Copies of this chain bind each other. A is one copy, B any other.
Amino acid sequence: MNFCSNCGSPVVSAIPPGDHLPRFMCSSCGAVHYKNPLLVLGCVPQWEDRILQCRRAIAPRLGYWTVPAGFMENGETMQGAAARECYEEAMAQVEIGSLLAVVNVTHASQVHVMFRARLLAPVFAPGAESSEVELYAEDQIPWEELAFPSGDFTLRRFFADRAAGREDYHFTELARPLRP
């Protein structure tokens, strides 16, 4: 950030009165510009014993596989965002279920929140950000070709819980990129 989005003057980094962290502050109008963590919402859509995976058609991690997930938009609920992302990336309609995983990705200032989901029908196709969409059984998951550590964590907990007949939620922290 170089300029104030309110008045267009240069910003400086300084600790505002009563605050405890440096913020970008406008040198002219005094506006304080905060930067806060971003929410990424996703789901594991299930049809019978298989789950839906998307092959990424965009950077980062182009060509690798992921659960459908993406940035939550203003005005959405978490569940609404997860269902929308599934429709955009996999053209698939889901009913969002229980909370599955919350991954604090501190190095990127993101929180990834993943739900279980039920595919309403075995109907899907690549959305604009996917090159392939497939239903995979557990023994077909391309573990070595998963795009993101948070997706790996999510799928491992999903299958472990399913095998145990549970629907627990799981928190974890990914403090640095696994692939720097």
Contacts and interface: CB of A to CB of B under 8 A. Distances in A.
A75 B99 CA distance: 23
Nearest to A1: B5
Interface in A111-170: 111, 128, 169
B37 A109 contact: no
B99 A77 contact: no
Contact of A3 (B6, B79, B104): B6
Interface residues of A, number: 44
Interface string A1-14: 11111111111000
B34 A36 contact: no
**Which interface residue of A37, A75, A109 has the most chain B CB atoms within 10 A?**
A37
A108 to B, nearest CB: 9
B102 A78 contact: yes
B2 A3 contact: no
Give the dominant DSSP class at A's interface: loop
Contacts of A33: 5
Given A72-B37, A77-B104, A106-B76, A7 B2 contact: yes
Q: What 5 A-B pairs have minimum CB-CB distances, sorted nearest first?
A: A3-B8, A77-B104, A74-B109, A1-B5, A5-B5
18 contacts: A1-B5, A2-B5, A2-B6, A2-B8, A5-B5, A5-B33, A20-B88, A21-B73, A34-B71, A36-B72, A36-B73, A37-B76, A39-B111, A78-B102, A78-B104, A78-B171, A79-B104, A99-B169
